[in-house]
């Protein structure tokens, strides 16, 4: 490895594992509730599954920011933000 190159971060593989764990946990929760949801009218089922299909994305933003920056919140300083985006 060239000494001028930055060392790879462990945050990206750890973050990918965390993302897969979040998806698996969320799928387990939704599948566990499917017996109850299946008894509801079809339009209500559709709304519930639509919301359930979108809600799992919410915790991923801080996780993705952490994978890139090492902090769970986005940089507030414009210079840091530009460096983070590049």
Global pTM exceeds 0.85: no
- Length of the chain as a residue count: 86
Confidence band of 22 (pLDDT split at 50, 70, 90): very high
Burial per residue of 47-63, b for 16 or more beta-carbon CB atoms within 10 angstroms, e otherwise: ebeeebeeebeeeeeeb
Question: pLDDT digit string (tens) for 59-84?
Answer: 888 898 888 887 777 766 655 555 55
């Amino acid at each position: 490895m060239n000494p001028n190159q930055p060392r790879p971060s462990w945050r990206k593989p750890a973050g990918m594992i965390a993302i897969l764990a979040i998806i698996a946990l969320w799928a387990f929760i939704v599948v566990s509730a499917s017996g109850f949801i299946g008894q509801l009218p079809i339009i209500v089922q559709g709304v519930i599954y639509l919301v359930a299909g979108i809600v799992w994305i919410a915790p991923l933003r801080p996780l993705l920011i952490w994978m890139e920056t090492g902090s769970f919140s986005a940089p507030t300083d414009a210079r840091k933000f530009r460096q983070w985006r590049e």
